[in-house]
Amino acid sequence: MVFSSIIFLLYFLPLFLLVYHFIDRKYKNYLILFASIFFYAWGAPKFLFIIIGTTVLDFYIVNEIYKSSSEKRKKLFLSISVAIKIGLLAYFKYANFFVENLNSVMHSVGISQVEWTSVALPIGISFYTFQTITYSIDVYRKIHPPLEKVSDYLLYIMSFPQMIAGPIVRFNSIASQITNRRDHVDDRLIGFYRFSIGLAKKVLIANVMAEQADLVFNNELSGVSTSTAWIGILAYTFQIYFDFSGYSDMAIGLGKMMGFTFPENFDSPYISRSISEFWRRWHMTLGTFMKDYLYIPLGGNKVSSKYRLYLNLWIVFLISGLWHGASWNFILWGAYHGLFLILDRLFLIKLLNKAGRIASTLFTFFIVMMGWVIFRLESIDSIGIYLNHLFSFQNNLEFETIPAFKLILVLALIFSFITAFNFGKKLSQFFFESNIYKSHQHILFTIASVILYVLCISSITSSGFNPFIYFRF
């Protein structure tokens, strides 16, 4: 079950909201937890007990961190807590990758290969791991005391709005809301608006872009023309943005309907004027996590030499790439972005500032697009072939598109770049940053949201094409 599925939109969500808003306040958290367990079990029942079991175990380990008077004992329990989480992630997400590469090396030197049964990947394991890490470390750092009830901790970790596809919700940003949050009709309505916008991003834009991208990337790449290659990467560029930001919007909206305030995850990343700015705007919760829990512990900006600084940046982005999936192309994608972050610090930002707003934005967008080629194609050979076709300028006018692609591409371009202009910023603030609306605004937004909701359901049922791209996460 995913947010854009008919079972969720017509059955799960309406029933959940109906019960949630009539149930007594003291039972609301239990209802969310029950719904979250049901939601996760629907798609991955065999992993449910592993997730619940390790979460419960971690709850008591972190309590020992908090209660321990000895710093040595605190560090011991913190190490145990983090080791369990990283170990779980390493086994389920990276064991297959490690064994496959080990066998490849062993085969090349004539050594017998390791017998191995592939491990299935639990959905959302990366988001689960990072959120549990923030809990352990924030408690250790005394940023916030631990939760008193194991059910509240399970709720924080397994909350269905954000467990599968983010955003990464840091414990200290939501701890107080778990036990004490407001429940106001304005929040419910604003949450519904935000959910509907996110759903429309995913279904009406990202799905169309995905169908076009699949038409290009899933065929024989050797026969792809230059124009078709550009169509394919444009489609994928907007697919991944509107899909991911759409899911983040839906998660934020669902949280708002329950009284939670989840952090923003995207801020018009394609208007960025450098790769450094892009990573301040793209998947912001991952960027914040990497900064606070990896980059700063490595020394951050306070290291003794520029070379160590650049190495730290590269390490962070190599790990960020690997976080996205157990494949060499993700590591290469991380290294690619890490390289441009280093170049930014060396000379590139100064050069782009001199080039002006339009030129720097177009250059950054181009660099990001080339990165998406690496991200999308697993084979290094395939990446090379595709990049070659982008710049070979052969069969330049031959391309095939699905019927709705051109119209949706125009809309995707408008919605991606409109905030580069002042009126676009004001419009975005009005839709995404307002917390209070007047009565006539509520009426207007409710009508618009219901229309979007119905259009999305109609699109899902009529097309049957509704991909979910977060199985690797």
Longest CA span, the chain:
74
* DSSP type of residue 345: I
Give the DSSP letter string of 80-127: HHHHHHHHHHIIIIIHHHHHHHHHHHHHHTTPPPPP-PPPPPPTTHHH
If we measure between CA atoms, which residue out of 255, 238, 248, 256 comes closest to residue 284?
Answer: 248
Q: Which helix (H) or strand (E) element contains residue 261?
A: none
Asked if residue 287 lies in contact with residue 295, where contact means CB atoms within 8 angstroms, the answer is: no
DSSP SS3 for 67: helix
Whole-angstrom distance, CA of residue 315 vs CA of residue 339: 11
Q: How far apart are the first and last CA of the chain?
A: 16
Residue of 283, 324, 337, 389 marked active site: 324
Q: How many DSSP H helices and E strands does the chain contain? A: 22, 0
DSSP SS3 for 330: helix
Residue 169 burial by CB count (10 A; 0-12/13-18/19+): exposed, middle or buried? buried
Asked if residue 250 lies in contact with residue 418, where contact means CB atoms within 8 angstroms, the answer is: no
**Structure-token pair, residue 142:** 């005394």
If we measure between CA atoms, which residue out of 127, 132, 129 comes closest to residue 171?
Answer: 132
Length of the chain (residues)? 473
E strand residue ranges, 183-298:
none
Question: Does residue 144 carry a catalytic annotation?
Answer: no
Positions marked catalytic: 324
